[in-house]
Structure 1
């Protein structure tokens, strides 16, 4: 019988106090794969938390990760974009925040440190990719409507994980030239990668609250792309974790 447990994990990363949420089936004695869940640019909200809970219900140990420190969540898109602009320009800071989360996750007795993955949404997907570029010992990376650009494409050679990115083909925030640059980066880095495109789909297609932004040409929930991308993530986890 499943005994789903959640608790707050606090740790230091990039000079910040991170307040993340951990989900696990506490009724099992065995170790299981650990999954980092990085949120959209706004910070750690219900979307990432609910995905981490779903992963725990599937038998994983999942950490929904703080992005901005102190569990701060921002509602204004312009403000959130400003906060992540420095992180985009300084990937070492992004990687430090991601690595702090990874260390917190692997400190848990329920987690098998040989079976780790990172997923993320929007900038959270960028964060998962930057963690991979740092050479972190993770087996899978999944980005949902993930920003693909980096100022350090040469670091793709450090990626040990199998990479899956799921993108709306009509996402104005991730245009075709950014996808092409990402493909070039992955090829030159010798990465095991795959890219799934969903026709007629834009940004934030996994988030049922995306329509609240009032920007349907930019961000819009899509139930079909949401379900398909989640299934593709599960298939990748089956592949890498057995």
Structure 2
């Protein structure tokens, strides 16, 4: 077992070694709040397109940073947004739940934090007319909110994101395109909530697609989630790889 673990670590080191050194902590503000995002400049064949990453409930982690680095190598300006603010990185799931819950209950505040990150991404060189927003879990909810509010972005991508909305909110036509990547066995999204979301997209006349990843539960893209699907959240290598490829095809279409 020890040999297998060491071998896995070695493989990860080889695969991610060429990503080291890319990216930096980027300070910006939203009102009086101090925020610390993670920005990765485009390398290789550069273009003016930008991608904003909205983190899962634990805030910016190695998962979001690695994603930013991978996308920057494809030529994108990439910023992982800081939603919680300087000094508010949650230490455990309990703290993360409280913080994420605050922004879900105060959705306008979540919107403002996302707008501040979008403006920061543009200041780093991304074209205002060539931006996509992607998010994981809690961040997937934020990405969908960008579409609901018709933020000036071309498209949004949600990885195992929350689909729910306050039913009292008016459904307006949605302009950004949406790609929803959802674990087929995700226990945190009820069939009722999924159907309500799909009807919302139809009512909004959105250009949307929802792809179910087989045998995947919540957090299927995050290696830190473990590999036990019975817990409701677990990494799934096949779902992770497939969802990444679906995203790349989608990005190629919109850009």
> Fold match, TM over 0.5?
yes
Listed as ranges, the gaps of 5+ residues in structure 2 are 1-18
Quote the Cα distance in structure 2 between the aligned partners of 1:17 and 1:235: 35
Do the aligned partners of 2:173 and 2:205 also contact (CA within 8 Å) in 1?
Answer: no
**Structure-1 residue corresponding to 2:139:** 124
Deviation at 1:155, TM superposition (A): 5.3
Quote the Cα distance in structure 2 between the aligned partners of 1:13 and 1:156: 27
Cα deviation digits, residues 137-176 of structure 1 (max 9, x gap):
1111000010111226745525321101111111111122
Deviation at 1:178, TM superposition (A): 1.3
Do the aligned partners of 1:141 and 1:163 also contact (CA within 8 Å) in 2?
Answer: yes
Distance 1:154 1:5, change over 3 A: same
Distance 1:133 1:152, change over 3 A: farther
Quote the Cα distance in structure 1 between the aligned partners of 2:145 and 2:170: 9
Q: Which aligned pairs between 1:88-127 and structure 2 lie closer than 5 A?
A: 88-109=104-125, 111-127=126-142
Do the aligned partners of 2:43 and 2:72 also contact (CA within 8 Å) in 1?
Answer: no
Task: Name which one, 1 or 2, has greater alpha-carbon Rg.
Answer: 2
Number of aligned residues? 236
Do the aligned partners of 1:122 and 1:145 also contact (CA within 8 Å) in 2?
Answer: yes
Quote the Cα distance in structure 2 between the aligned partners of 1:51 and 1:134: 25
Quote the Cα distance in structure 2 between the aligned partners of 1:152 and 1:13: 28
SS of the residue corresponding to residue 131 of structure 2 reads strand
**Structure-1 residue corresponding to 2:5:** none
Higher relative contact order (CA 8 A, sep 6+): 1
Cα RMSD between the aligned structures? 2.2
**Structure-1 residue corresponding to 2:247:** 233
**Structure-1 residue corresponding to 2:62:** 46
Do the aligned partners of 1:154 and 1:189 also contact (CA within 8 Å) in 2?
Answer: no
11, 27, 30: which one aligns with 1:10: 27
**Structure-1 residue corresponding to 2:74:** 58
Listed as ranges, the gaps of 5+ residues in structure 1 are none
**Structure-2 residue corresponding to 1:205:** 220
Q: How does the TM-score come out when normalised to structure 2?
A: 0.85
Quote the Cα distance in structure 1 between the aligned partners of 2:153 and 2:231: 34
Q: How does the TM-score come out when normalised to structure 1?
A: 0.90
Cα deviation digits, residues 190-225 of structure 1 (max 9, x gap):
11111111222101000011018x774311100111
Do the aligned partners of 1:117 and 1:140 also contact (CA within 8 Å) in 2?
Answer: yes
**Structure-2 residue corresponding to 1:170:** 185
